[in-house]
Chain A
Amino acid sequence: MRILKNIWAQLHRFVFWALILSLLWAWIYTFVGDTSREKKVILYVDAYALDQRGLGLRLEEECLPAGIKMIQVRSFGYSFLGTELEGDLYLMKASILESTLTDTPGTLAALPLPEGMRGYEREGKCWGILAFDPETQRGPAMDYIQYAPLLNPEQEAYYLCIDADGPHFSGNQGAVDNAAWEVGLALLQLTSDR
């Protein structure tokens, strides 16, 4: 009884330190769980729902290029926070791809189109590889990415694009490797387990 009374008397200290330590560790782990830009590939996905951690881990299992420690998957929601998107790969809708190419030319890199795949072409160059096809309603990694609301099938295609300034595409200036391309191809081949 006395112990409980003592604990009650110090409750403010217990709560205060629990909060402080939780925040401190969460802050420390933002650094621990991250690595330098050269050692990670960042994929942005503009989808209705996304299992960021699950997709990142799956891609690491499927394809972790040499020199790469981590594949980070982020939602496009990051851009709403005013953060500048510094990704290597973007999985985006055709309309967003179009407006990006029109409004901010030079943001995306021109890609070689792999055999057997369809791409988004403009001015004779391929700017994105078709990922989600609205006709078949199929796309890669459907266990992790929800391309359309459940009751409203998506009518727009999704394309996989590569950033023109990223360090992980050999077509870019100052590139250190071609990891983004390797991860991108692995993503496109990620079939659903369902």
Chain B
Amino acid sequence: MHPIVELYPPERLERLERRRKRVRLLLILLAAAALAVCVVLTCRVNTRNIYDMLLACICVSVGTAWIIIYFGVYTVRDAGRELEHARHLAEGPRESVTGKVTLLNQKVRVRNSITLRKLRVETAKGTVNLNIHIDKAEALRRAGERLTLYTVHGYVAAWQEAEQEAGHADS
């Protein structure tokens, strides 16, 4: 019997949550520091250096804004969406389906949520279409063709290598 590989194990979710909070705090501190620098620069303005100070304030604030946007989007926001997705999967009823798994090149970007990749499972009863978090799709591909997938509302939450003789589908 092969082990079940959970896509969202609790320890990973905890780590993700901690990282998200830490990065968010760092970004808030960075924004506060940038604001403080701009205030100091503004307080040192005189008629001779006003344009230099204006340029410095613009550079500091725009640079900080870009850093905040980058990490805010790709660390804080994406982690938050993944956590929400994982919680959604943990709460729902779990089903299993076994068969030949084919990852499709079709990506679905759900508004205000994660980006999904479509996959097709060919079971003894027919074909089932499912979705998986795009970052987890590669691991699933490496796992092999015949798999048992544990799903919640059509989203893959875990997988297990299927026995060779298990050629039928459960649902």
Show the binding face of A for B, using Cβ within 8 Å: 6-7, 10, 13-14, 17-18, 21-22, 25-26, 28-29, 32-33, 53, 56-57, 60, 70
Q: How far is the CB of A5 from chain B (nearest CB, A)?
A: 11
Band of interface residues on B: 10 to 19
**Interface hit among B9-17, B65-73, B145-153:** B65-73
CB of A32 within 8 A of CB of B42, answer yes
Decide if the interface of chain A is mainly helix, strand, loop or mixed: helix
Contacting residues, chain A, for B57 (C-beta < 8 A)? 25, 29
16 A-B pairs besides A10-B70, A18-B66, A28-B42 with CB distance below 8 A are A6-B73, A6-B74, A17-B65, A17-B66, A18-B65, A21-B58, A21-B62, A25-B57, A26-B54, A26-B58, A29-B45, A29-B50, A29-B57, A33-B47, A33-B50, A56-B47
Identify which of residues 28-43 in chain B touch chain A, using a CB-to-CB cut-off of 8 Å. 38, 42
Interface string of B119-160 (1 = CB under 8 A from A): 000000000000000000000000000000000000000000
Q: Given known contacts A25-B57, A29-B50, is B69 in contact with A17 (CB within 8 Å)?
A: yes
Residue of A nearest to B45 (CB): A32
B96: interface (CB < 8 Å) = no
Least distance between A59 CB and chain B CB atoms (Å): 10
Q: Is the CB of A7 within 8 A of B62?
A: no
Quote the shortest CB–CB distance from B154 to chain A (angstroms): 26
**Cβ-closest chain A residue relative to B43:** A32
Interface residues of B: mostly helix, strand, loop or mixed?
A: helix
User: Which residues from chain A contact B54 at a C-beta distance below 8 Å?
Assistant: 25-26, 29
Give CA–CA (A22, B59) in the complex, Å.
9
Question: With A and B bound together, what is the CA distance between A14 and B66 in angstroms?
Answer: 6
B111 contacts which chain A residues (CB < 8 A)? Answer: none
Chain B residues engaging chain A, CB cutoff 8 angstroms: 38, 42, 45, 47-48, 50-51, 53-54, 57-58, 61-62, 65-66, 69-70, 73-74
What is the distance, in angstroms, from A67's C-beta to the closest C-beta of chain B?
16
Q: Quote the shortest CB–CB distance from A141 to chain B (angstroms).
A: 17
Residue of B nearest to A35 (CB): B47
B61: chain A residues at CB < 8 Å are: 21, 25
B48: which A residues are within 8 A, CB to CB?
57
| Closest beta carbon of chain A to B137's beta carbon, Å | 16
User: CA A26 – CA B53 in complex, angstroms?
Assistant: 11
Instruction: Return 7 A-B CB contacts under 8 Å, by A number.
Output: A6-B73, A10-B73, A13-B69, A13-B73, A17-B62, A25-B38, A32-B42
Partner of A22, one of B42, B62, B69, B73: B62
Contact of B70 among A6, A21, A60 (CB under 8 A): A6
What residues of A have a CB within 8 angstroms of the CB of B50 in the complex? Answer: 29, 32-33
* A18/B62 contact (C-beta < 8 A), A10-B69, A10-B70 known: yes
The CA of A32 and the CA of B54, in the complex, are separated in Å by 10
How far is it, in angstroms, between the C-alpha of A173 and the C-alpha of B31 when the chains are bound? 50
Which of A6, A13, A56: most chain B CB closer than 10 A?
Answer: A13
> 5 closest Cβ contacts across the A-B interface?
A17-B65, A21-B61, A33-B50, A29-B54, A18-B62
**Most chain-B Cβ atoms within 10 A of its Cβ — which of A21, A26, A29?**
A21
For A10, A57, A70, the residue with the greatest tally of chain B CB atoms inside 10 Å of its CB is: A10
Residues of B within 8 A of A17 (CB): 62, 65-66, 69
Identity of the chain A residue whose Cβ is nearest the Cβ of B57 in the assembled complex = A25
A88, chain B: closest CB distance, angstroms: 17
User: Whose C-beta in chain A lies nearest to the C-beta of B48?
Assistant: A57
